[in-house]
Amino acid sequence: MKIAISACLLGEKVRFDKGHKRDEFVMDELSKYAEFISFCPEHFAFGSPRPSIKMVKDNENLKIISNKTGEDLTDTLLQSSQNDLEKVKTNNVVGIIFKSKSPTCGLISSKVYLENGFAEGKDDGMFASLCKKEFPLLPMEEEGRLQDSWLRENFIMQVFAYDSFERFKQSAKIKDLVLYHQHSKFMLQSKDETLYRELGRIVGNHEPKEFSDILSEYEYVFKTAISKKSSIGKTRNVLEHIAGFLKTFLDSDEKKILHEQIDDYANKIIPVIVPLSTLKLYATKYNVSYLLEQTFLNPYPKELALRSDIKSVK
Ligand code: SF4
């Protein structure tokens, strides 16, 4: 899968001072599973090194101004941003990771200044803003926010689910969609129960509709659902629900330990991987294929170890 990413996070020396901001998680972990498509609208427009720039509010418009000369560089940066936008578009990426706080790449973290030099809140950088308009359903995060284990886990699950749907839709038929929805059940419920039910209604389609229309409708709601953040409450419900499928196989001690683990997870005493591993063990032992096929049990490569972190839930 391809992920678009601010070039400086890849260690490319494209910053205004010819430096970089190599990101450890991106380079040492995520790089094993994704091909990166780099972008740097500032380097493309002005080269490196270059004078730094800032975002300035002019009435309701935001413009890009050189910190050194005061020159208005909005049009030049807009042009190079369009160029990188095209690159992102043609590469069919399944996510974007931006460098935080940059007037070009920041995602709601770019400082906005008034003409008089005072700071006035934060907004999206110019390129990030174009990406949000162009790809409203594409997973997007900043490297700064990805330091938070909960946001990281949610983003990675979203990216892998988005990628899985993109591959699925290439050759999907209606019966495949029924199965796809079935396998996604617990993952979707851990995100948004209402949207999960809405997706069930779309798959169950009782109106005379073309499959391509059903698939587009499903895609929109599916991608919206996976953009939602999980919570301890929602995940706990899913774990209890999975446990419900196993209750006829387990004796009272096994049930007691399993429910203790789910409680300990909900009380943030142990990470979610503990009850999940127990559920997976019983599902395997008793060959409950309905559970073993659930994306929720293996939403991304286990080596990322995101569910082993107690802080990956909120
Ligand atoms: S933050 Fe964006 S514009 Fe700035 S150096 Fe990194 S990639 Fe280039």
pLDDT score at 172: 85
* The predicted structure's pLDDT at residue 239: 98
For the segment 282-300, what is each residue's pLDDT rounded down to a tens digit?
A: 999 999 999 999 999 999 9
The per-residue pLDDT for 284 is: 98
Whether the predicted pLDDT of 42 surpasses 90: yes
Whether residue 14 contacts residue 44, with contact meaning beta carbons closer than 8 Å, is answered with no
Question: Which pLDDT tens digit goes with each residue over 205-219?
Answer: 878 889 999 999 999
Min mean pLDDT across 115-124, 229-238, 257-266 is at: 115-124
Q: How far apart are the first and last CA of the chain?
A: 28
Residue 99 Cβ < 6 Å to ligand 1: yes
| pLDDT at residue number 174 | 82
Dihedral of CA atoms 294, 300, 305, 309 in degrees, nearest 10, equals -70
On whether the CB atoms of residues 105 and 98 are closer than 8 A, the answer is yes
- pLDDT > 70: what percent of the chain? 100
Mean pLDDT of 41-52: 97
CA of 67 to the centre of ligand 1 (A): 16
Q: Hey, whose CA ends up nearest to atom 6 of ligand 1?
A: 8
pLDDT score recorded for residue 205 = 80
pLDDT at residue 17 is higher than 80: yes
Distance (angstroms) between ligand 1 centre and the Cα of 168 equals 33
Instruction: Write the CA distances from 83 to 76, 90, 108, 131, 175, integer angstroms.
Output: 11, 11, 22, 12, 40
- Cis peptide bond N-terminal to 301, omega within 30: no
Mean pLDDT of 8-21: 98
Is the pLDDT at 175 greater than 90, yes or no? no
**Per-residue model confidence (pLDDT) at position 59:** 84
Distance 7 CA to ligand 1 centre (A): 6
Identify which has the larger pLDDT, 174 or 50: 50
Q: How far is the CA of 150 from the centre of ligand 1 (A)?
A: 25
Cβ atoms 227, 158 nearer than 8 A: yes
pTM across the whole model: 0.96
105 lines ligand 1 (CB under 6 A): yes
**Mean pLDDT of all residues in 126-134:** 98
Pocket of ligand 1 contains residue 45 by CB under 6 Å = no
Amino acid sitting at position 264: D
- CB distance 8 to ligand 1 below 6 Å: yes
The pLDDT of 158-173, averaged and rounded, is 95
CA 237 to centroid of ligand 1, rounded, Å: 41
Higher-scoring residue by pLDDT: 43, 117: 43
Distance CA 6, CA 248 (A): 51
The mean pLDDT of 30-36, rounded to a whole number, is: 98
Q: Average of pLDDT values for 250-270?
A: 97
pLDDT at position 203 is 94
Q: Would you say the CB of residue 43 lies under 6 angstroms from ligand 1?
A: yes
- All structural domains of the chain with their residue ranges: 2-147, 148-314
Which ligand 1 atom sits nearest the alpha carbon of residue 106?
1
Report the candidate in 250, 307, 313 with the shortest Cα–Cα distance to residue 282: 250
Closest CA to 48 of 71, 23, 20, 21: 20
CA distances from 147 to 35, 124, 142, 180 (A): 21, 19, 9, 31
> Relative to the CA of 42, which ligand 1 atom is closest?
3
The CA 105 to ligand 1 mean position distance, Å, reads 6
Residues 102-122, mean pLDDT to the nearest whole number: 95
Contact 75, 82 (CB under 8 A): no
Residue owning tokens 């975002």: 55
Task: Establish whether residue 102 lines the binding site of ligand 1, counting it when its CB lies within 6 angstroms of any ligand atom.
Answer: yes
Q: Average the pLDDT over 192-212 and give the result.
A: 92
Q: How confident is the model at residue 311 (pLDDT cuts 50, 70, 90)?
A: very high
The pLDDT of residue 137 is 98
Label each residue of the chain as H, E or C.
CEEEEEHHHHCCCCCCCCCCCCCHHHHHHHHHCCEEEEECHHHHHHCCCCCCEEEEEECCEEEEEECCCCCECHHHHHHHHHHHHHHHHHCCCCCEEECCCCCCCCCCCEEEECCCCCEEEEECCHHHHHHHHHCCCCCEEECCHHHCHHHHHHHHHHHHHHHHHHHHHCCCCHHHHHHHHHHHHHHHHCCCHHHHHHHHHHHHCCCCCCHHHHHHHHHHHHHHHHCCCCCHHHHHHHHHHHHHHHCCCCCHHHHHHHHHHHHHHHCCCCCCHHHHHHHHHHHHHCCCHHHHCCHHHCCCCHHHCHHHCHHHCC
pLDDT band of residue 184 (cuts 50, 70, 90) is very high
Mutation choice for ligand 1 from 37, 42, 84, CB with most ligand atoms inside 8 A = 42
**What is the rounded CA–CA span in Å between residue 149 and residue 312?**
5
Given the CA of residue 99, which atom of ligand 1 is nearest to it?
1
CB 81 less than 6 A from any atom of ligand 1: no
* Among the listed residues 182, 264, 247, 180, the one whose alpha carbon sits nearest the alpha carbon of residue 215: 180
- Does 60 have pLDDT greater than 90? no
CA of 118 to the centre of ligand 1 (A): 23
**Cβ of 275 below 6 Å from ligand 1:** no
Ligand 1 atom nearest to CA at 38: 7
Query: Of all residues in the chain, what percent carry a pLDDT higher than 90?
Result: 94
